């Protein structure tokens, strides 16, 4: 079985790009610096935990510390999956033995396969499942991008192990979990004319913007702002990128990781680093998820 991916190529004009970058970046950077103390808060987390046995357990040493991410330690993110068709790739999260949560914009009419566990494109062979049912959120919209969630039902149930297990799901929406990480197999360079994929899963520690600043920043990229958006505060020149869509925002609390968000969109052209990566808040959609998944 062979898989490929398709990347849209952008036409770039260096002088215009540099000029545009200066014009747009300066006021946003100044604004963020001036009001950072007011807008920055810890990551959102849950007020009540669901009764999910064995979820969110990682072999990752939390005292350790995508583009500009680092290789993830093996088995650190056992809920991360790779979602592939003959035309594209996305990430996703195991939330049940039969269900994967990903982004709605990752769904195509093509046969879709989910690769489980540690995926090292050079050394390891990963078990996989064929997707037999794709469920986009009924109110998913492409512009503006809203309700960007989808469920994938697998052909056969997953056997949990040290390297393959679910992440915990949230209920409620408070802001006290830390640290948070994003993970993915997406491009590790912005040069879409010569795309480079990582050999293995990448991780990046991130912060979470307050909704007030998120509203301002996300409206510039994809207006209007939606209440389910989570904007990430990432290290300079670091971000989720193409191929990372659908992947998890994993946040730590009470010795477990919880799925706070699903990668949706962000600045993805020549001024990508100015704007935050935007994730969909899973807590906003728990009632919909429970229609399909027995949690």
Please classify residue 67 by burial: count the beta carbons closer than 10 Å to its beta carbon, then call 0-12 exposed, 13-18 middle and 19+ buried. Answer: buried
Alpha-carbon span 262 to 16, nearest angstrom = 33
Catalytic residue among 58, 228, 238, 245: 245
Among 96, 148, 233, 270, the one annotated catalytic: 148
Determine whether 245 is an active site residue. Answer: yes
Return the C-alpha torsion angle 286, 59, 88, 147, nearest 10: 20
Active-site position among 58, 105, 218, 250: 105
Q: Give residue 258's Cα distance to chain centre.
A: 13
Lookup: tokens for 59: 């072999």
Q: Which residues are registered as beta bridge partners of 252?
A: 257
- Rounded to whole angstroms, the Cα distance separating 230 from 186 reads 19
Cβ(94)–Cβ(168) under 8 Å? no
Task: Report d(CA 254, CA 284) in Å as an integer.
Answer: 21
Q: What does residue 263 show for φ and ψ, rounded to 5 degrees?
A: -60, 125
Helices and strands, number each (H, E), in the chain: 3, 20
Contact 222, 145 (CB under 8 A): yes
The residue written with tokens 């499942």 in the block is 129
Nearest in space to 187 (alpha carbons), one of 119, 235, 237, 242: 242
Distance CA 135, CA 116 (A): 20
Euclidean distance between CA atoms 57 and 41, whole angstroms? 25
160 HSE (CA, 13 A, CB side)? 16
Residues annotated as catalytic (active site), given as ranges: 105, 148, 245
């Amino acid at each position: 079985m062979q898989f490929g991916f398709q990347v849209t190529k952008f036409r770039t004009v260096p002088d215009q790009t540099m000029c545009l970058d200066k014009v747009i970046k300066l006021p946003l950077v100044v604004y963020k610096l001036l009001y950072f103390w007011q807008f920055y808060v810890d990551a959102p987390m849950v007020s009540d935990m669901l009764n999910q046995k064995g979820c969110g357990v990682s072999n990752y040493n939390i005292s350790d510390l995508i583009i500009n991410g680092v290789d993830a330690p093996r088995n650190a993110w056992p809920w991360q999956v790779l979602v592939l068709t003959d035309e594209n790739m996305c990430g996703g999260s195991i939330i049940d033995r039969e269900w994967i949560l990903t982004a709605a914009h990752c769904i195509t009419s093509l046969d879709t396969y989910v690769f489980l566990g540690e995926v090292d494109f050079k050394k390891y062979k990963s078990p996989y499942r064929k997707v037999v049912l794709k469920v986009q959120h009924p109110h998913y919209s492409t512009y503006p991008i809203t309700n960007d969630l989808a469920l994938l039902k697998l052909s056969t149930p997953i056997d949990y192990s040290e390297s393959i297990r679910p992440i915990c799901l949230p209920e409620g929406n408070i802001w006290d979990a830390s640290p948070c990480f994003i993970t993915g197999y997406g491009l590790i360079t912005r040069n879409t004319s010569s795309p480079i994929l990582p050999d293995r899963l990448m991780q990046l520690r991130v912060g979470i913007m307050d909704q007030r600043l998120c509203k301002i920043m996300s409206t510039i990229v994809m207006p209007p702002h939606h209440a389910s958006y989570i904007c990430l505060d990432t290290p300079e020149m670091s971000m989720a990128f193409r191929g990372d869509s659908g992947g998890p925002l994993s946040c730590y609390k009470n010795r477990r990781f919880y799925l706070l968000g699903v990668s949706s969109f962000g600045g993805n052209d020549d001024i990508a680093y100015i704007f935050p990566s935007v994730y969909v808040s899973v807590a906003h959609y728990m009632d919909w998820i429970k229609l399909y998944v027995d949690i």
